[in-house]
Amino acid sequence: MDTLIIGFGIAGVSIAHQLRRNNIPFHVIDSPENSSSLIAGGVMNPTVLKHYTMAWEGKKFSDYAIQFYKEISNIIQYNVFENFKINRIFHSLGEHNEWIVAADKNTLDFFLNKDIHLNPLREINTPYGYGSLKNVGRLDFKNIINKYKLLFGTNYRREVFKYSKLQFIKEGIKYKNDLYKRIIFCEGYGMKENPFFNYLPLIGNKGEMLIIKAPNLSQNIIWKGRFFIVPLGQSRFWIGATFDDSDKTTNISPTAKNDLLLELEEKLNIPFEIECHDVQIRPTVIDQRPLLGLHPELKNLYIFNGLGARGSLMAPHLSKFLYDYIFLNKALSTSIDIRRFTLEKKEI
Ligand SMILES: Cc1cc2nc3c(=O)[nH]c(=O)nc-3n(C[C@H](O)[C@H](O)[C@H](O)COP(=O)(O)OP(=O)(O)OC[C@H]3O[C@@H](n4cnc5c(N)ncnc54)[C@H](O)[C@@H]3O)c2cc1C
């Protein structure tokens, strides 16, 4: 076998797709219990609404991602990316001006509609009005992962990968009964347990979310106040998510739940029921850039990590960079290559 992929969140899916479209045989080992992708809201928004700026490489990543998700949707015969308007609820009148100025800026104008909406709405409280984002949408993380892996048959194995069982031999790397040329680790925050790569400064940021049922709320729009309200179909909505970089446990917390509920009580004028409260750790990096590349000493171990809070936007194009690096010898940009950190920089 050529390649072994460890982890099948959006990083694993994306690199698997690059291998598949280039006819490179691979196995996947994944234990989805700690998947950040599986609880993510799927919002793909290349702007930073807090500062009215573009996210890093936002337009380029967004263009690539939309085509990529179309290609996967055709293969799995299921549409995994849907265009949605995102309505940004203003917190003050002062924001109107910031919005109008931002909507005139080059590139941001592709995503921000200039108009300020002040008409009161029945279901949602928007006392200072709202502005609309266009050319944005939602990735259905659950279905892209769960439907894509079905194509691999027994080449997808649901199990925990044991680092101690790896054998480095002359012919390649042996894991249990299989021999591989290389391993690509796509473990999200699970990388903290990886003895080969845990020298890298993955910080992690805990995120908690709710799923609610609200039959009277429209399914056509994503709302963004302090948190996102994302339609999931069948009267269900994803609410989130909180950010906490001090607690790295995956225990759900009453404080985070209260925070999310406070926002819902403030914004929604309609009844809702909570269906689920969940938590995972986002794979965030000290310098807020992804972690891609080759282990400095073990020449057949690669990593694809550090997608932070924007996996849906960044994973597709980054997977192309990693593919080109591994198979076509194209250099990675220094801002994403793990060579910007040395093995000694272990402590954070
Ligand atoms: C609450 C929350 C909301 C979010 N909302 C959004 C959003 O709306 N939009 C967006 O773009 N991003 C969002 N994110 C961020 C997004 O989830 C991440 O950027 C992205 O999913 C990271 O993908 P990944 O594949 O690197 O890691 P993961 O999705 O965590 O996948 C890693 C996989 O590897 C497995 N694994 C790890 N170690 C091993 C091992 N030893 N053996 C076997 N398997 C292993 C894990 O269990 C998991 O299945 C959110 C995150 C959280 C926590």
Q: Is the CB of 135 under 6 A from ligand 1?
A: no
Span 178-183, mean pLDDT?
A: 98
Q: Give tens-digit pLDDT for 333-342.
A: 999 999 999 9
**The pLDDT of residue 348 is above 50:** no
Q: Is the CB of 10 under 6 A from ligand 1?
A: yes
3-state helix vs strand vs coil in the chain, percent to 5: 30, 30, 40
Question: For residue 155, how far is its CA from the centre of ligand 1 (angstroms)?
Answer: 21
- Which helix or strand (DSSP H or E) is residue 327 part of? helix 311-328
Q: Is the CB of 306 under 6 A from ligand 1?
A: no
Instruction: State the CB neighbour count (10 A cutoff) for residue 251.
Output: 8
Nearest to 315 by CA among 44, 2, 108: 44
Q: Is the CB of 308 under 6 A from ligand 1?
A: yes
Strands (E), the chain: 3-6, 26-30, 43-44, 47-48, 53-54, 81-89, 112-117, 130-139, 156-158, 166-169, 172-175, 178-180, 182-185, 205-213, 221-224, 228-233, 236-240, 273-282, 291-294, 301-305
Q: Is the CB of 283 under 6 A from ligand 1?
A: yes
Mean pLDDT, the chain, rounded, equals 96
Those residues with Cβ within 8 angstroms of residue 160's Cβ, 6 or more apart along the chain or in another chain: 31
Could you say which of 282, 307, 322 is where a domain stops?
A: 282
Q: Whole-angstrom Cα distance, residue 237 to residue 273?
A: 10
Nearest to 201 by CA among 307, 341, 322, 295: 341
* pLDDT of 345: 47
Indicate whether 197 and 265 sit together in one domain.
no
Question: For residue 100, how far is its CA from the centre of ligand 1 (angstroms)?
Answer: 34
Any idea how long the chain is? 348
**Count of domains observed in the chain:** 2
Output the pTM of the full model. 0.96
Here the CATH number for the domain that contains residue 162 is 3.50.50.60
Report if residue 227 sits inside a domain: yes
Domain of 18, in residue numbers = 3-39+143-201+286-340
**Confidence category of residue 344, pLDDT binned at 50, 70, 90:** low
Instruction: Please identify, by atom number, the ligand 1 atom nearest to the C-alpha of residue 206.
Output: 53
Q: Give tens-digit pLDDT for 55-114.
A: 999 999 999 999 999 999 999 999 999 999 999 999 999 999 999 999 998 889 999 999
Could you say which of 248, 266, 282 is where a domain stops?
A: 282
- Identify the residue whose C-alpha is closest to ligand 1 atom 49: 32
Amino acid at 32: P
Assigned token pair, 244: 């906490």
Indicate whether 291 and 334 sit together in one domain.
yes
Dihedral angle of Cα 7, 251, 311, 303, to the nearest 10 degrees? -40
Q: Whole-angstrom Cα distance, residue 87 to residue 89?
A: 6
Q: Whole-angstrom Cα distance, residue 123 to residue 108?
A: 29
Indicate whether 309 and 217 sit together in one domain.
no
Q: Whole-angstrom Cα distance, residue 185 to residue 162?
A: 12
Indicate whether 135 and 211 sit together in one domain.
yes
Q: Is the CB of 241 under 6 A from ligand 1?
A: yes
